[in-house]
């Protein structure tokens, strides 16, 4: 776990491996060469999965925001976010790559996002020149999967854990008109906001090995109890909602997370709940709203 920052103090979650710092420097130089930025965000947390570092890198480049894993999110809240982006002159599209939601629309949206570039080139007499695109996002948001779907082949490594892509030198031609650069996921060097840290953790964007799972689970259970109580009760067959600490005990008993003598196996229970949260087994849940 060299070059990784761990923190187990309440409300403090950070993970910024050495390769992310290197990737940020490389990405800064690569962005100068591209025409369009595609920023992937998790539809469950469109605000928390927006790395503020990218604002400095993107500058005035045209940008398309893709909200991935949208079937894991509350559809009403996702629509609110698309409306929110539109009001702020940002082009966005929510997709789900596993279930093919809106996949067929991606190239149309890329064309819309590239319109000003093509118009400018036409005035300069430049035609038949490829649009260079860079795909950015936080770890495990699904950049390589996204590019592979566009290309129609598995050209990039894909994994359900953050930190798979570690270089910024993979260019891939995905259509006759544009080529795409994959980049490593880059997190904040320091997560200042407690809720942001929990949101990133719940959506699998920080490696599980460095997480305080108890804190993550307690926060998640409280949030879901307040906002999606029916989903929580159905998932764990609960008769009533209680305080998060008491829910842990109820869930452990319901799911057989027990040691000899009927004692609660807390580690097993936290891992079970965390996996349910990360993989949206509880239901389609959004952990933040545009008003946040």
The answer to whether residue 206 sits within a structural domain is: no
Distance CA 269, CA 246 (A): 12
Is 169 found in the same domain as 123?
yes
CA-CA distance, 132 to 148, in Å (whole number)?
A: 16
Q: Which domain holds residue 130?
A: 18-182
Give the pLDDT confidence score for residue 257 in this predicted structure. 97
Helix (H, G, I), strand (E, B) or coil at 136: strand
Examine residue 192 and state whether it is found in any structural domain, yes or no.
no
Closest of 51, 54, 63 to residue 133, by C-alpha: 63
Kindly state whether residues 177 and 218 are assigned to the same domain: no
Q: Is residue 9 domain-resident?
A: no
Domains contained in the chain, number: 2
Question: Which residues are CB-contacts of 202 (< 8 A; sequence separation ≥ 6)?
Answer: 44, 45, 216, 219, 220, 274, 277, 278, 287
Domain check: are 49 and 160 in the same one? yes
Do residues 140 and 248 share a domain?
no
In a domain, 290, yes or no: no
Instruction: Give pLDDT tens digits for 179-198.
Output: 888 777 676 666 778 899 99
Whether residue 30 is found in the same domain as residue 120: yes
Q: Report if residue 232 sits inside a domain.
A: yes
Supply the pLDDT for residue 90: 94
φ and ψ of 201, to 5 deg: -65, -45
From 132, 162, 182, the end of a domain falls on 182
Residue located via tokens 């609660």: 264
Report pLDDT for 149.
Answer: 84
| Whether 222 and 262 share a structural domain | yes
Residues 6+ apart with CB under 8 A from 128: none
Low-confidence ranges of the chain (pLDDT < 50): 1-11, 156-168
Write down the pTM of the prediction. 0.84
Residues 256 and 178 in one domain: no
In a domain, 10, yes or no: no
The CATH number of the domain where 125 resides is what?
3.40.50.300
Residues constituting the chain: 292
Q: Are residues 153 and 239 in the same domain?
A: no
pLDDT of residue 109: 95
Residue 218 DSSP SS3: helix
Token representation of residue 23: 């990737």
Question: In terms of domains, do 142 and 50 share one?
Answer: yes
* Residue 8 belongs to some domain of the structure: no
Q: Same domain, yes or no, for 170 and 40?
A: yes
236 and 97 in a single domain? The answer is: no
Which CATH number does the domain housing residue 217 bear?
1.10.1580.10
Task: Tell me: do 30 and 158 sit in the same domain.
Answer: yes
286 assigned to some structural domain: no
């Amino acid at each position: 776990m060299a070059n990784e920052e761990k923190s187990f103090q309440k409300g403090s979650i950070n993970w910024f491996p050495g390769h992310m710092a290197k990737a940020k420097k490389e990405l800064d130089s690569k962005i100068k060469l591209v025409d369009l930025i595609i920023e992937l965000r998790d539809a469950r947390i469109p605000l928390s999965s927006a790395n503020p570092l990218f604002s400095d890198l993107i500058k005035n480049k045209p940008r398309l925001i893709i909200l991935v894993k949208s079937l894991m999110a509350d559809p009403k809240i996702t629509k609110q976010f698309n409306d929110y982006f539109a009001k702020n002159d940002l082009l966005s599209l929510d997709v789900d790559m596993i279930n093919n939601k809106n996949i067929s629309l991606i190239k149309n949206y890329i064309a819309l996002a590239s319109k000003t570039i093509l118009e400018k080139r036409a005035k300069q007499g430049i035609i038949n020149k490829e649009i260079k695109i860079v795909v950015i996002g936080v770890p495990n948001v699904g950049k390589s999967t996204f590019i592979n779907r566009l290309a129609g082949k598995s050209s990039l490594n894909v994994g359900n854990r953050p930190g798979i892509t570690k270089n910024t030198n993979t260019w891939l031609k995905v259509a006759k008109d544009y080529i795409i650069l994959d980049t490593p996921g880059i997190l904040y060097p320091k997560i200042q906001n407690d809720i942001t840290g929990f949101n990133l953790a719940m959506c699998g964007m920080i490696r599980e090995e460095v997480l305080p799972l108890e804190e993550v689970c307690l926060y998640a259970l409280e949030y879901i109890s307040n906002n999606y109580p029916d989903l929580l009760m159905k998932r764990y067959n609960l008769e009533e909602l209680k305080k998060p600490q008491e829910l842990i005990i109820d869930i452990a008993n319901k799911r057989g997370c027990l040691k000899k003598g009927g004692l609660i196996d807390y580690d097993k229970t936290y891992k079970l709940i965390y996996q349910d949260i990360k993989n949206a087994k509880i239901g389609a849940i959004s952990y933040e709203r545009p008003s946040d």
